[in-house]
Amino acid sequence: MGQNFLVDASISRWIADQIVPDDAPLVVEIGPGMGALTEHLIGRPKKLVLIEKDYQLAPELQRRFEGRADVEVIAEDATRIDLRPWFRHGPVKLIGNLPYSVGGEILKHWLTPPTPVSSAVFMLQKEVCDRLAAKCGDDAYGALSLLVQKDWNVEILRIVPPEVFQPRPKVDSAVIRVTPRDPATLPVFDRVLFDRLVRMGFSQRRKQMKNLLPEAPGGWSMLVEALGVSATVRAEELSLEQWIQIARCYENRTTADAGQKASEVFDVVNERNEVTGQLTRGEVHARKLLHRAVHIFVINSRGKIYLHQRSHLKDVSPMKWDSSAAGHLDAGEAYADAAVRELKEEIGIDVPSTELAAQIPAGEHTDHEFVELRLAHHDGPIRCLPEEIATGEWFKPEDIDAWVAARPQDFAKGFVTCWKAWRGVGGEKLEKAHI
């Protein structure tokens, strides 16, 4: 299938070491081929999964490791595997000597958020690695550099010559390490808009950006003045941070990220969920006072549930996974009204109403919130507010069941309570009706 097999044992061992596999919960090797990397991974992580598409090599690997409980061979195309069930395994370490022909597709599939991958080590064509790791000013810098680096740190570890492969490729290879970028290192921005603008800006590299991008809010002169660059600037002359500034400009973001306001006012309630007064968010959370919140599960026609990962700007449970939308009730607001408002504000969908699924009393399990869980049905696009949500995905209920059971620490407290309540009350009936 056009693969080049690594035949140098010392380099194979070195590459395997770079993923730090010892005692890792799960290491996934893509395209193990004849096992050059595999033999240096066996027995080191708690579980090793080998994904091999080649119809001749996959059965050989299955026979070779038959009887080993710590090794699983999956005979599938790595670009088509559904990654959503993998979240229940926790952080996944990914490694592979990727075929040049499909390396880009594999990277896109496994590294596009949301993903369970926590780190990756790949060997690829050196030219591709140069593009992935390039910074502004490098010859290889382009759209691919920006689209990857907004989410990942990319480091070239070493260059690998053709003579260590059989058959020999005509170009050098390189080994890269990819680790998640700390979201706090960049201001929030609309990622869909960012991707679109970057692709437009690099669509014709010789052209000036003013001739490639849509009319900027406030005009092009105002935008380049804010960027501190010439009006004739080209795409490759702008850094990642400047490209994010462009995206924020097109979103009409003019102020620094502030996160949630500690001065926001909530109703404070007693043990019977009766309003006793109003206090600020900061004081309510600091004193762990009882208050009200709503969670909404958005369900599509296939019976899948949309979950989101909370923004790093959240004052409670940052970067944890949560319901489709969730939030506190404003002072004097009804649960049903709050549900419709939160759906619009957080994930950009308009629904006339929601249906009540469960009422959950306050306690440590809900972060001291009296919660109403409500349901909404939606099949259209979802547009996340980046201050509130880092990323999101549609999941099958049974995949969420397994994930919650295996790793409740990945979720906000209120979600786990809501999920268990819903699955015990009406989830099974809904799942059978749609799946």
Q: Say how far apart CA 6 and CA 15 lie, in whole Å.
A: 11
Q: Which CATH superfamily is domain 191-250 in?
A: rRNA adenine dimethylase, C-terminal domain (1.10.8.100)
Axis crossing angle, helix 126-133 with helix 103-111, rounded to the nearest 10: 30
Indicate whether this model's pTM tops 0.85.
Answer: yes
From the candidate CATH numbers 3.30.70.2860, 3.30.110.40, 3.40.50.150, 3.30.450.40, the one assigned to the domain spanning 5-182:
3.40.50.150
Residue 344's alpha-carbon distances to 172, 336, 370, 373, 383, in angstroms, are: 50, 13, 22, 16, 9
Name the residue ranges covered by the structural domains of the chain: 5-182, 191-250, 265-434
- Residue range 265-434 forms a domain whose CATH class is alpha beta
pLDDT confidence of residue 170 = 85
Residues 6+ apart with CB under 8 A from 353: 336, 340
Q: Say how far apart CA 73 and CA 94 lie, in whole Å.
A: 15
Q: Which residue has the tokens 């999956």?
A: 74
The CA-based dihedral angle spanning residues 30, 35, 41, 42, taken in that order and rounded to the nearest 10 degrees: 120
pLDDT confidence of residue 404 = 97
| Per-block mean pLDDT, blocks of 10 residues, the chain (435 long) | 77 97 97 93 98 93 94 96 96 92 93 97 96 97 97 97 87 96 96 96 94 94 95 97 97 80 86 95 92 97 98 93 96 96 97 96 93 97 94 98 97 94 63 36
Q: Between vectors from CA 157 to CA 312 and to CA 159, what angle results, nearest 5°?
A: 145
The residues that bridge with 411 in the sheet, in sequence order, are: 321
Report strand pairing: 173-180 vs 291-299: unpaired
For residue 330, give the DSSP letter: B
pLDDT confidence of residue 208 = 95
- Distance between the two ends of the chain, CA-based, in angstroms? 36
Peptide bond just before 167 cis, omega within 30 deg: yes
Radius of gyration of the chain (CA): 25
Q: Which residue has the tokens 């740190």?
A: 153
